[in-house]
Chains A and B, each alone.
Chain A
Amino acid sequence: MMSSAELARFWNIAGIHSEQYVKETFYDNGYNADTRWYNYVQQFNNPQYQNDISIEGGGQRVAYLIGASQFHQRGSAIGNVYDRFTLRSNVQGRPKDWLKVGMNMSATYDKTIQNPNWSNSSNNRNYTSGALSYLTLPFYPAIDPETGKEYENEYPGGMINHHTYMANRITPTERLGLMGTAFVTIDFTPDLKLSSRAGVDGYVSRYTGLMKPDYYMMGGSGWRSRSTAYNYTSSLTNTLEYTFDKSDLINFSVLAGHEEIYNDYDYWSGSIENIINPRITLISSGDPETREIDESQVQSAFRSFFGHADFTLDGRYIFDASIRADASSRFGAAKRWGVFWSAGAMWKIKREEFLKRVVWVNDLNLKASYGTSGNANIADYQALNLLGEGGMYNGTNGLYFAQPENPDLSWEKQALLTVALTGKVFDRFDFDVEWYHRKTTDMLMSVPIPATVGFGSQYRNVGALLNTGVDVTLGYDIFRTRESFLHFQTTFNYNAEKVLELFDGRDRWEIANTGVAFVVGQPVMYYDPIYAGVDRNTGKPTWYKPNPDDIDTTTKNEVTDVFSEEDLIQNTGFKRHAPIYGGFSFSGGWKGLSFLADFSYVAGKYMINNDAFFYANPNQFADNNQHKGVSDFWTETNPDAKWPDWRQGTVMQFDTHLIEDASFLRLKNLQIAYSLPKSIMDNISFMQDLKITFTGRNLLTFTKYSGIDPEDDTNVSLGLPANSKQMLLGLELTF
């Protein structure tokens, strides 16, 4: 971003604001600072603590594990804090030879405080109070000359001091989670057993929101809101399994089972305004006329019956098959049940006679499988025809046609075919190569409906998507001795995506305000006007006209300087989802010292850098700081400039100039650890092991992307840091 002097100079030569304007508006009012706003609004050094303790023990018939852990993290936004405490215990017992019982319990408490005034860029408006603070003009000082400290409540220019704000804005969400499972296994005979497992996973959460009345902005009137959510999932699974493993030639097992899952979510909230005394700020303290309450409840249930069988012949040929019938309460009454199945085979080639003697082949397997599965991941009650409440008038709650029915709503289906070859050769090189073909049909999508119908969208089973690709994992031991080793590992995924079918028989759907389109026969693509650069002769921005017959096939034949989103939108050639993901790592050790360096990369990734719409658009955002690069704009003497002639009042548009190559290579994880040598530990009688660790996350990134974080998996990046650099020092003690 520009400094004060750079911005004033740029404004003047670009014809945006004259020197006199800057003098009158800023300098004459005492605003002649050169403030780097992110230094005041972002926190860059954020300590993080974690403690874990666990104890295991038991005897012949009972085993137990108890543990506790604690975690604390501060975020880069002022006021953001996360705390978590976890307790867990596992007990297993075998009171009879034929009876096994056990119970696992864990309890978690966590508390999240998130600065709610920490906004970003959305659509065509910006809010500079949070992560986009760097857009604030540098002329304004952050330090009050009268006190020599930061302005207490708000800085000149109107940005609030977040430290004071968060001291007056109480906003914790606390959550108490309880998870437990209990199981019983009865062995009727050594080969036949019945297992029954019951589980509960639930939480109670509460939110407290308070804006204190004496905060300078509130005019003596605070508000408070509270909410509580209660949620649990209970499940019960019964299985009966028969195993036959007495023969060398043939082994098999068959299993039949049944499962019930029930989820209950219950929420209420209340709020009030006009709390006047900062010392008592309960919901009962405010003005009853401003009370608002809300309640909602949702339940869902799933039922499944399933069977599984596997069969091994001679330890070389393994076959397995399964079938399951699943029902969900979310679907239409006649469409609740879905039947899914799978079958697979594996050939352990190494065990064949012809390979047994090939010493350099340590292991070699060929696998193939095909299976179908279902997905019910949508909100509840979407199939029903509903009258809902909403819209109050004169104290009476409104009733209206809230949802049209879709009795055909049913399971989304996925069919997956995989073929894989795995193995190890020369004692040091292992590999896993898998090809897959994954077809998703009857996709559960919120299908947009014309506004004239009166509803925005409806969940339907529409469309089909095909993903095919390869997954490769390779490992290589560079060397391995008694005292040291060095290992290299790499993973690679190539995925080809193809839309096979859309809703309403259409062959293209551009999703509003996302720049993304689904087009039959193509991967999910970015569709936008294509920026063609600056006209050398006029200094105006230009765009490629779409192929008049077919906007899906980009020709870039003709250019125009008239912008119209609807006329210019076309296939940009950029894929929404990157086709190549991968990573590689080196791990090694020498005596007590060990390290792991883990890199990951994504290639062919593109993102819309929405923030650039603001920081490189000096006419439209004439009261925001700008990126230094915009100084390179068209003039008669600089016809090859990157940016158009600002002096003509040019504004930048939402087009491909915002789509950037966000491919990257990143050092995700670097770990270095040192364990004290045994010779020293032997002298410390009460301790077995002492280990010092250093962990660094996201320490190095290589990318062409100019926005904040290339790793963000989104179509439009909106000024929020996603993956921050982290450094951790650790101490691990074993007693």
Chain B
Amino acid sequence: MKQTIKYIFAAVAATAALTSCNLALLPTDAIVYEPGGQVIATSEDLSQFEARIMSDYRAVHGGMNNILEDVMTDGFNASSGFGNNYGSIHRTDDSFSSSDSYIEAYWSNHYTVIKDYNVLINALKDKVNIPAGTESAAGKVKGEAYMFRAEAYMNLVRHFGPNYDPDDDKALGVPIVLEFDLNARPARNTVHEVYTQIKADLDSAALFLADVAGELQADYPTIDAVNALYARYYLDVQDYENAAASADKVISTRKYELSNTAEKLKNEFRDDAGTEAIMQLFGSRQESPNATDVYTNMFSSQENGVCFRSLFLPTKKLMDSYAGNDIRKTVWFSTTDYYTEVNGSYYRGDFATFVKYLGNSNLYSGDVPNGVQMCKPFLISEMYLIKAEAESMQDLIPKAKSTINILQTARGAAKSGGRIDDIRNEWFRETVGEGMRWTCLKRWGLGFEAREAQAGTLSRNAVMRGDYYDGRAMKADDRSFIWPIPADERRLNVNLEQNPGYGN
């Protein structure tokens, strides 16, 4: 008996030993697939892949993507309490180096989304790999990916390469990556090659999105958005005829109207309910777009309610650029609406704060605006500016004048002539905060003389002073007009050459 019990125990233990667990465990939050196999297998996969590239596209707009260009140039002063946020970018002193974390993020964010665009484009390249019944949807999604890739490369080459020069086919742009390859260590392609790729992608986008008609505030790409991007492209490659024609294609649809009253302009930005957006990406409180909060940085104070604690304040030059009745000045700048906290004290009425991106009240909870607005990758106003600049560059001064006057009239601004300086000044007034100033100055081969601060900010000691703050002048040949290739990236990829002025 004793022996029997003993062996029963042993048998139980042995059974337990054999109930072993599975070693081939798979995740529940991901789909495992064979490399080289069909990536997009169902129509559900397709709509989810589309959602991803849309979300990618939104991630590289607004917020930091816009802030960098504006705080780097002559429209803004760092406030005395800016806490070194965007410090290296604003000063562009020695600390603006190839190790700069903002520049590094800009580079890697763009290549990360390009990877998603590439995977999608290649997954749908061959007809056999398109899930049955989704051919037309797949074509549209592919067109979207081509358009996004074109824009991503345009942003990269604008920042990390010199201006497009028709006579220089050696100048280095950025590496073109069109396929996923874990082991690729690509060298920089030339600026010409990058723009050729952008054109090819734009042509593909135009083909696949030909039937996607434009509509106001479209939350997916349309043919009008493709044309708007064509306009940017042609302006960059100095094909002014096509730049003007592309911009005009969008303008002449008459689907997008310039706001011509303060109320309408306020709706356009503050409430994201305007008439100017060729595209306006979906945003909600769950899907919060990037915040452009550095200009307001609002908080709720104990004594004075909701207040500004701006990190960047508009310069005197920016404020002085607007004529008296310009609705942009009254809508986009605030002097008396809220108190501003400076060095522990509260002021109101002394200086202007930039409030174009105050925050859409549908995108935040509570009563403290947070600088979150829906992304508007293309606005009709930019098409007028591109058209006018392209006309002016072709010496079609009267045409340029009439184009720019349409914008100026709508904004209640003084009408100017059609000379290039007039158009350039209008760019400054119109696109402030949209992340275009640095690109514009670069395209024009211009720098700026210092960043004189508003008198009211000086008397309240509200801005940082010094050679690299309000005293910062940037010549047209300043090294920072071409951003450094991130040092980390160069350590991992020895084939990448550095831009001049940033070391070896």
A contacts, CB < 8 Å to B: 21, 24-26, 29, 31, 96, 98-99, 123-127, 140, 151-154, 156-158, 184, 186, 188, 194, 196, 198, 213, 216-221, 223, 236, 238, 258, 260, 262, 273-274, 287, 289-292, 295-301, 303, 327-329, 333, 336, 380-381, 384-394, 396-405, 448-456, 458, 509-510, 512-513, 562-567, 619-623, 649, 651, 653
Contact = CB atoms under 8 A, between A and B. Distances in A.
Contact of A186 (B10, B26, B180): B10
Nearest to A384: B32
Interface string B61-101: 00000000000000000001101110110000111011101
A449 B492 contact: yes
Contacts of A258: 17
Given A21-B461, A389-B30, A450 B492 contact: yes
A393 B13 contact: no
B180 A512 contact: no
Contact of B48 (A96, A198, A292, A399): A399
A152 B301 CA distance: 12
B29 A297 contact: yes
15 contacts: A96-B5, A292-B286, A297-B28, A386-B27, A387-B39, A389-B29, A393-B52, A400-B119, A452-B493, A453-B111, A453-B182, A454-B118, A455-B182, A567-B503, A649-B468
A301 B21 contact: yes
B366 A301 contact: no
A125 B311 CA distance: 13
Nearest first, the 6 closest Cβ-Cβ pairs linking A and B are: A454-B115, A398-B52, A221-B366, A391-B55, A399-B48, A219-B366
A454 B180 contact: yes
Contacts of A26: 343-344
Contacts of A385: 32-35
B175 to A, nearest CB: 5
Contacts of B365: 221, 223, 273-274, 287, 290
Nearest to A336: B23
A526 B16 CA distance: 52
Given A124-B95, A403-B30, A393 B51 contact: yes
Given A565-B97, A653-B95, A454 B116 contact: yes
Interface string B102-119: 001001100110111011
Given A386-B30, A451-B112, A399 B468 contact: no
Contacts of B344: 26, 29, 31, 140, 156-158
A31 B342 CA distance: 13
Contacts of B28: 297
Which of B6, B23, B35, B108 has the most chain A CB atoms inside 10 A of its CB?
Answer: B23
A213 B365 CA distance: 11
Which of B29, B87, B341, B368 has the most chain A CB atoms inside 10 A of its CB?
Answer: B29
Contacts of B6: 98-99, 186, 188
B196 interface: no
B306 A404 contact: no
Contacts of A564: 94, 97, 502-503
Interface residues of B, number: 108
Given A260-B21, A565-B99, A217 B299 contact: yes
A108 B23 CA distance: 30
B82 to A, nearest CB: 9
B23 A394 contact: no
Main secondary structure, interface of B, reads: loop
A385 B33 CA distance: 6
Interface of B: 2, 5-6, 9-10, 13-14, 16-17, 20-35, 39, 45, 47-56, 58-59, 80-81, 83-85, 87-88, 93-95, 97-99, 101, 104, 107-108, 111-112, 114-116, 118-119, 175, 177, 180-182, 184-186, 219, 282, 284-287, 299-302, 306, 309, 341, 343-345, 365-368, 461, 464, 466-468, 484, 486-489, 491-493, 498, 502-504
A544 B75 CA distance: 37
Given A451-B489, A513-B99, A621-B84, A399 B49 contact: yes
B35 A398 contact: no
Contact of A451 (B81, B95, B108, B341): B108
A381 B30 contact: yes
Contacts of B306: 219
Contact of B83 (A126, A287, A448, A653): A126
A113 to B, nearest CB: 24
Contact of B182 (A24, A458, A566): A458
Contacts of A653: 94-95
A24 B5 CA distance: 93
Nearest to A30: B345
A154 B301 contact: yes
A402 B365 CA distance: 32
Nearest to B57: A393
Nearest to B54: A393
A298 B25 CA distance: 9
Nearest to A154: B302
B97 A649 contact: no
Given A399-B49, A403-B30, A448-B488, 7 more contacts: A98-B6, A194-B10, A216-B300, A223-B365, A238-B16, A385-B34, A390-B52
A453 B26 CA distance: 25
